[in-house]
Structure 1
Amino acid sequence: MVQFSPARLDACFAALSDSTRRGVIEHLGTADASITELAEKFHMTLTGMKKHVGVLEKAGLVTTEKVGRVRTCKLGPRGLEEGAAWIEARRHIWNARFDALDEVVEALTRKEKVDGRQSQ
């Protein structure tokens, strides 16, 4: 089984828990943007957007590069890989549980049909 870093997962999911940060990720999926552009798009102060970008950067979801006075943001190279892998591992567990539940329901349904025919 794949081992996940609790600290990285916590940082990833904490970063994604905020709708503004999710919006930044979606925007950067279409084009790189400066912090100023992001602040304008989300109707925020530069300071507020810098904080959001800092959280995303710490989680490895975004990277920034400063050229002159402009700090440009882009999606991080790791992106959502570890968080997505963690979710996918849980999806397999839940799918197996739902498959087992489906089998129980089907068996009970067949038994009800048989019992219903016998009592008539």
Structure 2
Amino acid sequence: MSLGTAMADARARLRTIRGEAVLDCVPGPIRDATLVLRVEECSRADAAAAVVLEHRISGIARAAADRNPIRFALALPAGEHAVSAEWSVRAQLICNPLQGLARGDYVSTRRYPLAGARVGGLLRIELERLQ
């Protein structure tokens, strides 16, 4: 099997979900932030969600008042290991990745189910600034 055929097989086993993270406000400039997207399996209400996949996008910058969405793409399993009805996404925009999550960063305050995400559609995640 050639490398090209192997890569095509691997891509065929993936489903790409495209989306955008929208910030509620940008009171000051953002420099070199990191968007963290976590796909979680949350089938049990009495247990913590298990992280299935984590995707990071570094080097995000925005001028004050620039609320243009941050676009992303998640490659998820297709076929027999396809997206489960219990999978959802949570997101954080960490403005100082060396410090970790802190006041002034952005978080999603709810889970965004992946089961209903359409191929070709956009998953819109709203992020709120931590006060």
Instruction: Please tell me the TM-score bracket, short chain as reference.
Output: under 0.3
The answer to which structure has the higher helix fraction is 1
The answer to which structure has the higher strand fraction is 2
Between structure 1 and structure 2, the one with the greater Rg is 1
More contact order relative to length (CA 8 Å, sep ≥ 6): 2
TM-score for the superposition, normalised by structure 2: 0.20
